[in-house]
Chain A
């Protein structure tokens, strides 16, 4: 036998399913329950505030891709609007206090 067809595969899966369903069951006793409750009690009170924090975290992480997309769009828009060259030009003018005449000319006063 060199290969396995769909019907044969289904048969193997059925056998594996039978083995899976016959897995040994665990019956935890009172000791286990006492141990878990001891652990829970040592953790103290769970307040609803913790839930708000979790919700906040979930919200922030969900917004991450949106934030990245917005940053990308804004950057592209700024590049297209030639904002950076205008900004550099203005910065150069402002930093050079001796050239106040040019600055006045550009600012319209």
Chain B
């Protein structure tokens, strides 16, 4: 059983087929990351894109580092690039909020218990609300909110994944949190 660095070395020496064992090892990880950040219908393509990017930049992987972390970073940046492209081409689908969503929001705000979705309809409204809120943010803010507030990563961890400075991530996190707050306020006021 070869470790990641040894497999990378083999691939760089010309044994391209060895890359498949890396794919087998990290397929689930990449899928998990990608499905969280991009629409479900795009997940397969983006996962493929992430592995192709990883293959293309394999020589920049420093053997001493953690391959898992390196690949996670590529997957996250692939998702970020996907959103940048979508926002640039203005293809973001804006789902309109209905009374149901508003009601859901008001219930969550007034309910003291932990949010758990007992019914499929509640889950659907929550998912749509999440999608709506994320679509209202920029590609950068979206990634920061997802990594920090929804996945619970630290500023440093998010910065490493995105390849940004910690200060940049922290400032963005603060601003995007305020943006979200403002959005929710406006939704309630409607």
Contacts and interface: CB of A to CB of B under 8 A. Distances in A.
B40 A26 contact: yes
Contact of A45 (B16, B106, B123): B16
A20 B150 contact: yes
Given A1-B109, A17-B149, A40 B188 contact: no
Interface string B23-43: 110010001101110001001
Please tell me the size bucket of the interface on A.
35 or more
Contacts of B185: 3-4
Given A20-B36, A48-B12, A26 B117 contact: no
A2 interface: yes
B108 A9 contact: no
B38 to A, nearest CB: 10
Most chain A beta-carbon neighbours within 10 Å: one of B32, B55, B57, B59: B59
Interface of A: 1-4, 8-9, 11-28, 32-33, 35-37, 39-41, 43-52, 54-55
Given A20-B130, A26-B44, 19 more contacts: A1-B188, A2-B188, A4-B181, A11-B111, A16-B130, A18-B115, A18-B126, A21-B150, A22-B123, A23-B40, A33-B27, A35-B48, A36-B48, A37-B19, A37-B20, A43-B56, A46-B16, A51-B57, A52-B59
